[in-house]
Amino acid sequence: MSEWRSTEDLAAALTFGVSGCDAAANEARAARAAEVLAAHSAAVDRAYLDTAGSTVDPWWPEPFGARIVVEARGDLDAATSSPEFEAEVQKGMNLHTRDVLVNDEDGCRYEAFTAAAEELEQVVPACTRIRDALRTARHVSAYITPKGAPC
């Protein structure tokens, strides 16, 4: 199983559509990530209400990076340095351990999925590529940011 989202896409997702690295940008990014988490939580709650009494589990994971960006108060350097960042990237690459619904000749059941060692070896380099992509974006924005701005 390979990456389901490119590292460039994952890096862009961490910005939550907010460029810049000054205090105002960090605050706006954290607020946007918090909004995304709240919307996700409300959608999951509605899905559970809609499937009450069903055997269907409507849960789906939080949007990539939202929680670590909120916890880092929008600071992408802090978010990508967080102890949870590697696990978040692993989930973003769809390489995390999880139960998978299997429906085959043996019937319908959940089986544990664990990525192969070769696949897991991709996670740390992906983290580095994401950090590099964010760093590059910051350096590019330095050329278009007004003189004296912190980015």
Q: Which residues contact 142 (CB under 8 A, 6 or more apart)?
A: 151
Residue 78 lies in a domain: yes
Residue 121 lies in a domain: yes
Domain count along the chain:
1
3-state SS record for the chain: CCCCCCHHHHHHHHHCCCCCCCHHHHHHHHHHHHHHHHHHHHHHHHHHHHCCCCCCCCCCCCCCCHHHHHHCCCCHHHHHHCCCHHHHHHHHCCCCCEEEEEEECCEEEEEEECCCHHHHCCHHHHHHHHHHHHHHHHHHHHHHCCCCCCC
pLDDT of 30-75, one tens digit each? 999 999 999 999 999 999 999 988 877 888 889 999 999 999 999 9
The per-residue pLDDT for 2 is: 45
Look up the pTM and report it. 0.80
Residue 149 lies in a domain: no
Residue 25 lies in a domain: yes
Q: How far apart are CA 131 and CA 100, in angstroms?
A: 30
Residue 61 lies in a domain: yes
Residue 51 lies in a domain: yes
Residue 151 lies in a domain: no
Range of the domain at 65: 7-144
Residue 150 lies in a domain: no
pLDDT of 94-117, one tens digit each? 888 888 888 999 998 888 888 888
Q: How many CA atoms lie within 13 A of 18 on its CB side?
A: 21
The per-residue pLDDT for 54 is: 84
Q: Residue 22 above 60 pLDDT? A: yes
Residue with the bigger pLDDT between 74 and 136: it is: 74
